[in-house]
Structure 1
Amino acid sequence: MTKEEIKQELRRRLRDNYALELEDAGPVELFYSLGELVKAVSNEKWQKTWKNYLTEEQKQVYYFSIEFLPGKLLKSNLLNLGILEEVRQTLADTGIDIEELAAVEKDMALGNGGLGRLASCFMDSIASCGLPGNGNGIRYDYGLFKQRFMDGYQVELPDEWLKRGNVWEIRREGKACDVHLFGNVYMKRLANGKLQPVGENQTTVRAVPYDTGMIGYQNGIVNTMRLWSVEIPASEEAKYQNLTQRRTIEDLTAVLYPDDSQERGRLVRLAQEYFFVSAGIQSIIRYYKKLNLPWHSFSEKIAIHINDTHPAMCVPELMRVLMDENGLNWEFAWDITVKALSYTNHTIMAEALEKWPIHLMKQVVPRIYQIIEEIDRRYVLSMQGIHPEDLIQRTRLLQNDQVYMAHLAIIGSHSTNGVAKIHSDLLKAVVLHDFYTIYPERFNNKTNGITERRWMQLANEPLSKVMDKWIGTSWRKNPKNLKLLLNFQDNEEVLKQLRQAKLVKKAELADYIWETTGIEVATDAIFDVQIKRLHAYKRQLMNLLHILRLYFQIKDHPEIDLTPRVFIFGAKAAPSYSYAKSIIKVINETAHMINTDSTLQGKIKVIFLPNYNVSLAEKIIPAADVSEQISLASKEASGTSNMKLMLNGAITVATLDGANVEIKDAVGNENIYIFGLTEKEVYNYYENQDYSSQKIYEEDKELQRILDAFIDGTIPNVEFEGREIYDSLLKFNDEYFLLRDFRDYVQAQERIDLDYKNWALWQKKSLANIANAGAFSADETVKAYAEDIWQIEPIFAHTEKEGTTNGSHSI
């Protein structure tokens, strides 16, 4: 579109929808009018893409995830359509800043952290790589929660992201389907001797899909992210006489992760998981039937991916639909299911591998439980005489009055992958070793990735312009071409321009910090960033111990030569995770103590920015100098903030955990700060049971002073929280080995302080990180999934094989 066409379309939409002229419209009216314009452009491509998939009978992947974290889509959609600059200039010509419009949009905060952001990076990359793929999730009425701090405590407020509606979605009422919950299911024998399940006293809810176009990067392809919302079917309206009764249904898609500390919360959460799985599977079956193909071809046209254990009920639900609704026998349905399904494991922590009480599953999804019970029975029978009995018992689905959802996902699929090399190795060697013994061919690794379109092209335009100037623009379509930057590692002008780009983003973040917190920070300080979920294993607490060490050093020796440092945190704690919330309180009180102490001469500041989400990450990441990736080795599956920060030139201080290992291999030891226990050393402690945090405490006077600060009144207003943390480290023997790694961490931080003083050395390290970040592109990750697991092909490659002149013409 030309600038004039854009302006005319905007004018028309403003008149039609708001009875306003362009010159009189405010940011809200402009945003929604521009959104409608963008959607009109993309909808045509979307329709052509879908028609092409249908006529070509192209195999498609359906990516089931309980979380999606797309963030804001306006600038992303404009970029991917190739009209961002035209729209920016058109608006500027009329005195409008596109950033004002972007600020109107609410984050689609339909996730908690890395899992949801990964799913959204994959949606972007699948479309941008020309791959036929769809997302399947839940359209939550509220985002995770809006985080505020009151007296240093985290307070959770509703995130009303849908208050003004969502300009990007299309409600597809004609694609709605019914989902059955609760009640009782019994087997009725038919005249032909077959058994048919019959449901009694069931609750029927309506699943209504809202589709959002996932626009590929300047390739004409638009895929679908389908999010399901619950409604009461017209036939059931009479059952719900009051608001309280209606809420029992509407709560199904009200919030992500209902509080499962109570039975009602667990019930809602299980029903929620089945709801979006059942709706998604029914939608897939409806599409497959349009192809008029035999059932044995199902896995040749359909791949279903289980992202973590939340959608593990895809296994029994696909079985249910194939058998109960389409008459297939068990063996045939099972063969189809295993061939079509694949599973990504995202954790090695036992508490994160879902297990549901059998009594609850019988109550919420009785037919699904019957199928799970039969899968378990047949699995045990099939393994007898092949594997030892104790191995069979350890790997079965039903144990200890619980359903093991990871076991269900592994047994019912053909592929199980981890998300970083060390994580996948640990799955095979430790966490899922029994399954690896049984199904070695099913296990593989797919290291996570990020989309540089959002995390550099959009989030860091100053750095992107430096890239364009020195290495050309090919990196924008092929992130691996960032490697070309290595040709300039000794070019002083390039190093200066990289430094200047960083200072621009630091100044922007400093302004935001001032506006948000009233605290002034210096842009010549090291911006030291830790942004991720607040969890004990991620060890935000160790970062705090180091901050307290610096605080005491400056108090004791005001003349000390320390590079000024701004420590920046962004993190939400799960509402029921009291220990994590205590850490937030103590960080906030320490921050207040430090930020108001003029004797520190501004050498350290501590900033905890509230309500960490995608949009806030886009502000913090480009400004970061240091990336804190300090989880205990063997606990973080992969991490993706490490990749985003690396891409933007931050230098990582890290344990050998998750994808940090591969980042180290990519950039070289000299361009990363590695410290701490290795995974083997951690497991040695577990095996030998010889770790003593008390001994470390007693032998280290400085550490004693730091820990005592939690309970001796040094940190104000943390009497309860300070004692809880102190006891966790000493009385309960420091579960995540913070004290063992602390000295090594301090030494790494001292090397950072020294190296940062040499700007050229630091910029060379930063350059090496940027140049090697293309290896962690989500484009490369989804290509590996497509080839190794899903067996789907880019639409371009497919149409070229069929003899068309150019794949782009076919969409």
Structure 2
Amino acid sequence: MNDKIPQGPYCAVFKSLTKKDFLSTINHHMLSFLGRDPQRAGSRDLYKALAYTIRDFLVERWIATQKGYYAKGKKRVYYLSLEFLIGRSLGNSLINLGFYDEMAGVLQEMGYDLEEIREEEDDAALGNGGLGRLAACFLDSLATLGIPAYGYGIRYEYGLFYQRIVDGFQMEYPDNWLRYGTPWEFERPQNLYPVKYYGRVQRYRNNKGELRTEWIETKEIMAMACDVLVPGFNNDNVINMRLWTAKASREIDLGSFNRGNYISAVQEKVQSETISKVLYPSDDIREGQELRLKQQYFFVAATFQDILRRHKKKHEGFDSFADEIAVQLNDTHPAIAIPEFMRILVDEESVPWDKAWQICVGTFGYTNHTLMPEALETWPVELLGRVLPRHLEIIYEINRRFLELVAARYPGRDDLLREMSIIEESPVKRVRMAYLAIVGSHSVNGVAELHTHLLKTRLFKNFHDFYPGRFNCKTNGITQRRWLLKCNPGLAGLITDTIGGEWVTNLDYLRNLEPYAEQAKFRQKWAKVKTENKKRLAALIKQECGVVVNPNTMFDVQVKRIHEYKRQLLNVLHVITLYHRIANGEDTDSPPRTVVFGGKAAPSYFKAKLIIKLINSVAEVINNDSRVGDRLKVAFIPNYGVSVAEKIFPASDLSEQISTAGTEASGTGNMKFSLNGALTIGTLDGANIEILEEVGAENIFIFGMTTEEVEAARQNPDHNAFTVYRDNPEVKRTLDSIGNGSFSRGDTALFAPIVEGLLNSNDPYLLLLDLEDYLRCQKEVGALYLDQPNWIRKSILNVARMGKFSSDRTIREYAREIWGVPVD
């Protein structure tokens, strides 16, 4: 697979080893690490032994990389994210090391298949969606580009949840991805830091008579580092993702134990270690909110102790801190780092406030990931003040000084003071974490051109006016190493055979594919790769859903988090419309379709979970209707995650990116689909706009209202959903069939909330107002799919024009324009 890919110096180490060397090393790990007889070991044992073997090579290069950072005194980048959705590590490591095919040969000699061994690895459940997958792509690019960088997050013992579909409903089960342990991490008990909560604040005068502040009478837990190594592609660079796990400050209360109260003796340990147990506890109850706040502070506090430990090895004082260190906040979850750093500088290091603030702002950059005001994180003042009393004081002081500047710039504008205050003066006072992140950072970036424009002109207009030049765009990207080279080896091999392997580190090189889109023989090869990928996905659908689908049908796919604004429901309305047309003999010229859904709904999100039930209920009816046959099939693949995505993207013909314009910040799934040759049907939202600009309007299907039209429709009572329902018989038939029990075994109450929401003139996502244009656009999709040579031609051009959307480009822009770090 990698013969035509440029080989780095590290790869030479592998090339010098014989199969006998590797067999010996694998068997050694089987004996020494696992205590297993190699002759009697199973696939999971072999997977672990192989992982330990690869880890040995990684750690040598990681140590060399770290020494190089110190020797060269390079500026370091710290990427703080509450999620890192890295998926599986074995295949990715082998590919980045340039040794995938060789290792496959070693295992074949042992009587094993590498692809089967890879299936033994559980996905690292450290995230729940695009935010975490973006962070993982960034780590890959940081390592590949040789940027001195570290990712910091939490080592969750349990992921978000394991999703099963029971009678069409989502059911949540613990995602115990560590039940067999993980061979990829190094525990670092020597990197153990105290993290404090609660307590009170005390003022005192030091021996110089200066008024000082200290945070006392706190409860304390310990944060222990766990490192997961991330190799760059075919180079000597290996960086690490440092994840924190919670440990009790003491293992057992001997007083309680000696009194015979054995449960109380270990209670503190159990409570302390819940901090890193579960990804994103439900925050719809008070206890969930508090635990989530504690999680955020936990990893931030430990991270900054680690950063300062490293900084103080080579530097005295903080004069050059912002020149030596860049900290990027991935959304608002790590924003508590701003008052934490100020607390350290002012309270512990005695740095004057003004100087500390200058250092702080010079250090931080903030990436915003949402356009919806209700999704911007806020914390009740009472809660934050109880859990982190000193931090609340610091936030109030930051706010006081900031509002003084606002008042000086805009005298008499009390309205602006209220609108821009970090403290929301509502009946329940709340701290606006996005505002804190904006005020405390020298850079605030959006993640797509439209998203950034809307941040500047709507969501944070006052801040953009106050801080001209602070806001900027860094359009998201994906790593082509995982999302083409690894997940789609057939297509990657065809591309490499045709234009060479330079695209793996320079995605713009894919432009060289364009002339081949006009060659019939190349299109035939391209189509053959797609068919093989669809056969593999068809097998997965049969295995997971019990549905037999025809690989020769159009694979129409929407996989992402289930949320009303992402509008899976719009897709379902089209599916039902198609079903009625086919069942009633009204549609004789559209191509057969297999419509695939996947994604998780938040456990407390009733409407999203009901949409999952509707999808599965519609699938049950359609898949069992003999009038339809293979003309239309529907499948909901459960427990969508990185490894499932790696099977879905290569097999997709049509990518559904249909969010209401002005709601999706960027999206990265849209990029992954296009990079694997799917054509997009989408709204002018998020990065769809930039994909349109790159691939050309003739190679993408765009429908629906623009952001401006969406805003106008929301303000215009004459543009309401009921009018569409009343005036369009086909739309009425579709909604009536949902409401009358056709897809709920006669139960007219089950989906009533969905129908009522669709007909509500206050529907914030305007599904029915976009539905008619969506149906029109889907007819265009069907017509083009019947013209297979032209469809494949457009598929090739989509791939050829995806160079902009490499995370390598994104990281270069961050490095050059935000972090001030040189990159080749």
Match of 1:623 in 2: 651
Match of 2:484 among 447, 452, 456: 456
Q: Does 1:320 align with 2:343?
A: yes
Match of 1:282 among 299, 305, 309: 305
Distance 1:677 1:232 in 2: 54
Q: Does 1:189 align with 2:218?
A: no
Q: Does 1:157 align with 2:173?
A: yes
Match of 1:292 in 2: 315
Match of 2:801 in 1: 772
Contact 1:142 1:161 in 2 (8 A): yes
Contact 1:671 1:769 in 2 (8 A): yes
Contact 2:80 2:327 in 1 (8 A): yes
Deviation of 1:197 after TM superposition, in Å, equals 2.6
SS class of match (1:499): helix
Deviation of 1:685 after TM superposition, in Å, equals 2.3
- Counting only pairs closer than 5 Å after superposition, residues 474-553 of structure 1 correspond to structure 2 as 474-553=502-581
Q: Does 1:634 align with 2:659?
A: no
- Counting only pairs closer than 5 Å after superposition, residues 140-155 of structure 1 correspond to structure 2 as 140-155=156-171
Match of 2:439 among 391, 400, 411: 411
Alpha carbons of structure 1 residues 244 and 252: separation in structure 2 relative to 1, 3 Å:
same
Deviation of 1:192 after TM superposition, in Å, equals 2.6
Distance 1:710 1:249 in 2: 48
Alpha carbons of structure 1 residues 248 and 690: separation in structure 2 relative to 1, 3 Å:
farther
SS class of match (2:320): helix
Give ranges in structure 2 of 5+ residues lacking alignment.
1-13, 257-262
Alpha carbons of structure 1 residues 265 and 724: separation in structure 2 relative to 1, 3 Å:
same
Contact 2:228 2:242 in 1 (8 A): yes
Larger deviation, residues 702-711 vs 65-74: 702-711
Deviation of 1:92 after TM superposition, in Å, equals 1.2
Larger deviation, residues 273-282 vs 238-247: 238-247
Match of 1:360 among 373, 378, 383: 383
Deviation of 1:489 after TM superposition, in Å, equals 1.5
What code does the residue aligned with 1:725 have?
I
Distance 1:125 1:689 in 2: 48
Deviation of 1:243 after TM superposition, in Å, equals 5.3
SS class of match (2:739): coil
Match of 1:205 in 2: 221
Deviation of 1:764 after TM superposition, in Å, equals 0.5
Distance 2:479 2:629 in 1: 40
Q: Does 1:330 align with 2:346?
A: no
Contact 1:277 1:314 in 2 (8 A): yes
What code does the residue aligned with 2:371 have?
I
- Counting only pairs closer than 5 Å after superposition, residues 228-243 of structure 1 correspond to structure 2 as 228-234=244-250, 237=253, 241-242=264-265
Match of 1:390 in 2: 415
What code does the residue aligned with 1:432 have?
F
Deviation of 1:96 after TM superposition, in Å, equals 0.7
Deviation of 1:598 after TM superposition, in Å, equals 1.4
Deviation of 1:382 after TM superposition, in Å, equals 2.4
- Counting only pairs closer than 5 Å after superposition, residues 722-737 of structure 1 correspond to structure 2 as 722-731=751-760, 733-737=762-766
- Counting only pairs closer than 5 Å after superposition, residues 574-585 of structure 1 correspond to structure 2 as 574-585=602-613
RMSD: 1.5
Deviation of 1:99 after TM superposition, in Å, equals 1.3
Match of 2:374 in 1: 351
Deviation of 1:720 after TM superposition, in Å, equals 3.8
Q: Does 1:374 align with 2:403?
A: no
Cα shift readout 1:133-181 (whole Å, capped 9, x = no counterpart): 1101011110111000111110000000111111111111111100000
Distance 2:664 2:587 in 1: 39
Match of 1:699 in 2: 727
Q: Does 1:342 align with 2:365?
A: yes
Q: Does 1:259 align with 2:287?
A: no
Q: Does 1:271 align with 2:299?
A: no
- Counting only pairs closer than 5 Å after superposition, residues 1-20 of structure 1 correspond to structure 2 as 1=14, 2=17, 3-18=19-34, 20=36
Contact 1:346 1:637 in 2 (8 A): yes
Q: Does 1:781 align with 2:804?
A: no
Distance 2:207 2:28 in 1: 65
Q: Does 1:302 align with 2:328?
A: no
Match of 2:769 among 710, 733, 740: 740
Contact 1:583 1:721 in 2 (8 A): no
Deviation of 1:688 after TM superposition, in Å, equals 4.1
Alpha carbons of structure 1 residues 112 and 732: separation in structure 2 relative to 1, 3 Å:
farther
SS class of match (2:751): helix
Distance 1:721 1:337 in 2: 53
Distance 1:195 1:117 in 2: 46
Distance 2:138 2:736 in 1: 45
Contact 1:457 1:464 in 2 (8 A): yes
Deviation of 1:248 after TM superposition, in Å, equals 2.6
Larger deviation, residues 389-398 vs 566-575: 389-398
Deviation of 1:542 after TM superposition, in Å, equals 0.3
Distance 1:205 1:720 in 2: 49
Length-normalised TM-score, structure 2: 0.95
Match of 1:78 in 2: 94
SS class of match (2:738): coil
Contact 2:252 2:265 in 1 (8 A): no
Distance 2:715 2:542 in 1: 49
What code does the residue aligned with 1:454 have?
R
Contact 1:566 1:605 in 2 (8 A): yes
Contact 1:70 1:117 in 2 (8 A): yes
Match of 2:104 in 1: 88
Q: Does 1:753 align with 2:782?
A: yes
Deviation of 1:731 after TM superposition, in Å, equals 3.5
Distance 2:461 2:522 in 1: 49
Cα shift readout 1:276-303 (whole Å, capped 9, x = no counterpart): 1111111111111111244110011100
Distance 1:243 1:235 in 2: 7
Distance 1:245 1:690 in 2: 60
Cα shift readout 1:513-559 (whole Å, capped 9, x = no counterpart): 11112211001100000011000000000000000001110111177
Cα shift readout 1:17-46 (whole Å, capped 9, x = no counterpart): 345554532111111111111010010100
What code does the residue aligned with 2:92 have?
S
Match of 1:47 among 63, 71, 79: 63
SS class of match (1:567): strand
Contact 2:714 2:762 in 1 (8 A): no
Deviation of 1:584 after TM superposition, in Å, equals 0.5
Contact 2:250 2:269 in 1 (8 A): no
Match of 1:438 among 446, 463, 466: 466
Distance 1:684 1:243 in 2: 59
Match of 1:805 in 2: none
Distance 1:429 1:659 in 2: 18
Contact 2:581 2:587 in 1 (8 A): no
Deviation of 1:319 after TM superposition, in Å, equals 0.6
Distance 1:296 1:74 in 2: 42
Cα shift readout 1:113-135 (whole Å, capped 9, x = no counterpart): 00000000001111011111110
Length-normalised TM-score, structure 1: 0.96
Distance 2:176 2:419 in 1: 44
Q: Does 1:586 align with 2:611?
A: no
Deviation of 1:561 after TM superposition, in Å, equals 2.6
Deviation of 1:599 after TM superposition, in Å, equals 1.5
Distance 1:407 1:321 in 2: 21
Distance 1:669 1:621 in 2: 22
Distance 1:697 1:341 in 2: 50
Equivalenced residues, count: 795
SS class of match (1:533): coil
Give ranges in structure 1 of 5+ residues lacking alignment.
798-811
Contact 1:23 1:94 in 2 (8 A): no
Distance 1:252 1:91 in 2: 40
SS class of match (1:155): strand
Contact 1:729 1:735 in 2 (8 A): no
Distance 2:266 2:685 in 1: 49
What code does the residue aligned with 2:43 have?
P
What code does the residue aligned with 1:607 have?
A
SS class of match (2:408): coil
Contact 2:79 2:152 in 1 (8 A): yes
Percent same amino acid at aligned positions? Answer: 42
Match of 1:568 in 2: 596
